[in-house]
Each structure stands twice: as C-alpha cells, then as structure tokens.
Amino acid sequence: MTGKVKNQLNELGKIVNQVSNLINNGKPFGNTERQTLFLAYFDIDVEHVQSLHLLISNDNIGSASALVRTFYETFFRALWVNAFATTEQLEEIRNNKFEFKNMGSKILQLDSHYTGTEFFKNLKNRVWGTMSDYTHSGSYQLSRRWTDGKLVPNYKENEILEIIIEVTKAYLLFANMLFQIHGYDKEKDTILDILIKYKKEIEPILNTIYPSA
C-alpha cells in the first residue's frame, strides 16, 4: 500500500467516525416511512464504505472495485425513493414487491429534483459502464489480474485512490441528504463543511487522476 492510499484510507475512516458521531447525538431518525427507507439505504452504504476500507487495507482491490457500483446504486435508489416514490411504491419497497427497473433512467431523473444540472447524467455516463465492468468481472477487472504474464494483480495507485476519493465524496453527499430530509440543518451544514474541506485537500490528487480536468 502506498503512502497516498494509506493517507486517504485514514481520511475516510475519520470522516465515517465524524458522520457517525453526528448521527448518534440523540436526535430521532426515521420519523416517516420515506425517511425510514432512506435511513436504511444509508445504513447499508455505511457497511459498504466500511467494507471498502477493510478490503483496500488488505489489498483486496478486485473485491473493493466490484463493490463500488453496489455502493452507488444504493445511494441512487435512496435518492430516487426520497424524491419520486409514491406511497404505494414505498409500501411495495418495504415488502420486497417493487422492482427497480431501468435504473439508468431513474438516475437521470435525479437531476430534475436535486441539481437542476446534468450532474447525475454526467456521472452515469462517465463511470456507470466501468463500475458495472468491475462488478460483473468484465474486461477491465480481468485485465488487472495480470502482471508481466503472471497472475498477480496490477491495480494502479491512481485507480485505488479514485475508488476511495469518489466513494468518500458520495458518502458525504449521502450523509448531507440524510440530515437535510430530517430537517437537521446544523448537522447538514457540518457535513457540507467537511465535504468542502475534503475536496480542497484532495485537489492535488485529483489533478493527477484527471489531468485534463
């Protein structure tokens, strides 16, 4: 593990603890069915983030990269449920009778409610195919199992940093939204401050990962 990767893992661990402390401050969560489902999705992704941290710490990058799409899809489902699910659909989701068909089109719906831009559309177009490839053991995933003709993984430092950084940012956005839908503005603003600080700190790293950005 390189120094940069270790530093970003440490930062992710600190951020998870900060968010956890804000959640466990005695305020109630899940006051409505919609909020309860959103909280459950968030809790699932907390486990995904903790698993990503553990997997990367143990140099299991293939499994970590396969988990990234699952993390994002949970996030996207929560956002869609919060914005668009009807009362009947909430009940169906609760009772495992709702199918999230055409998830790609649902992701595109998110911009109309949350951003007023093409943020989610651009995110989907940029990374969805790659994330799916790693999840389903496609050519990207397979090609990184070899080094000089030997069955030795060859995941590059920037690829690992990208996983950690992008998941950390999305996790903070998810936490920010969790507090927002519960009307906890102080905690929401605290998360936003953490995100702004984090984005500023990682800017030099992002310039190496996305040199043309």
**pLDDT band with cut points at 50, 70 and 90 for residue 212:** low
Q: What percent helix, strand, coil does the chain show, rounded to 5?
A: 75, 0, 25
The average pLDDT across 143-155 equals 93
Say which amino acid occupies 50.
Q
Dihedral angle computed from the Cα positions of residues 198, 26, 75 and 109, in that order, rounded to the nearest 10 degrees:
-100
In a domain, 188, yes or no: yes
In a domain, 141, yes or no: no
Output the pLDDT for position 108. 84
pLDDT score of 213 more than 80:
no
Output the pLDDT for position 123. 86
In a domain, 76, yes or no: yes
Using one digit for the tens of pLDDT, what is the confidence trace for 15-47? Answer: 999 999 999 988 899 889 999 999 999 999 999
49 and 70 Cβ atoms separated by less than 8 Å: no
The average pLDDT across 136-165 equals 94
Q: Which residue has the higher pLDDT, 170 or 124?
A: 170
22 and 187 Cβ atoms separated by less than 8 Å: yes
CB-based burial label for 28 (10 Å; 0-12, 13-18, 19+)? exposed
In a domain, 123, yes or no: no
In a domain, 73, yes or no: yes
HSE of 11 in the Cβ direction (CA atoms, 13 Å)? 22
The average pLDDT across 184-199 equals 96
In a domain, 17, yes or no: yes
For residue 41, give its domain range. 3-23+32-101+155-209
pLDDT score of 140 more than 80:
yes
Say what angle helices 61-84 and 33-57 make with each other, to 10 degrees.
170
In a domain, 79, yes or no: yes
Domain count, the chain: 1
Could you give the percent of the chain with pLDDT greater than 90?
80
pLDDT score of 91 more than 70:
yes
pLDDT score of 80 more than 80:
yes
Residue from 213, 8, 12 nearest 122 by CA: 213
Residue from 92, 86, 51 nearest 68 by CA: 51
